[in-house]
Amino acid sequence: MQKLLKLKEDFVSIASLFTSVSTLLCCALPSLLVALGMGAVVAGMVSDFPALIWLSKYKEWTFLGAGLLIGFNFWLFYGRKRDQACEIDEFGNEMPCDTAARWSKVVLWTSFCLYVLGLFSAYLLLPIQQFLGI
């Protein structure tokens, strides 16, 4: 049972990272490239990866799914009580449980940062530019 729970946690962690990267690819990266005058690169990306058009067209659903997965991942990592604490061997060495927890934390916060960056560029960057007259 413990192994199945760990597998579910790993899946949610990887899925949240994947969806947050998709928000970055659909919105933040093309906006940055166009702002830097590299519109031809964006056109090349879209021709090589036509799924970017779908992600951009349905960006509300992309952001909603990514947000839900990242929120669920935060709940898994911080919100619920841990069933088992990581064991420490007699020499005080780091156990595999500690290593996995550290990497899960890195993946979670990386996913969150990518999500916020994509959210900013998709929904806030243009209104801020229009307000500042840039």
Q: What is the pLDDT of residues 69-87, one digit of tens each?
A: 888 888 877 876 555 556 6
CA 119 to chain centre: 11
Tokens of residue 59, six digits: 């960006």
Distance CA 104, CA 107 (A): 5
Residue 9's domain comprises 2-132
Q: Is 70 exposed, middle or buried (0-12, 13-18, 19+ CB in 10 A)?
A: buried
Q: What pLDDT is attached to residue 89?
A: 62
- Look up residue 60 and give its amino acid: E
pTM score, whole prediction: 0.70
Give the count of domains, the chain: 1
Tally of CB atoms within 10 A around 96: 9
Residues 23-58: tens digit of each pLDDT: 777 777 787 777 778 888 888 888 888 888 887 888
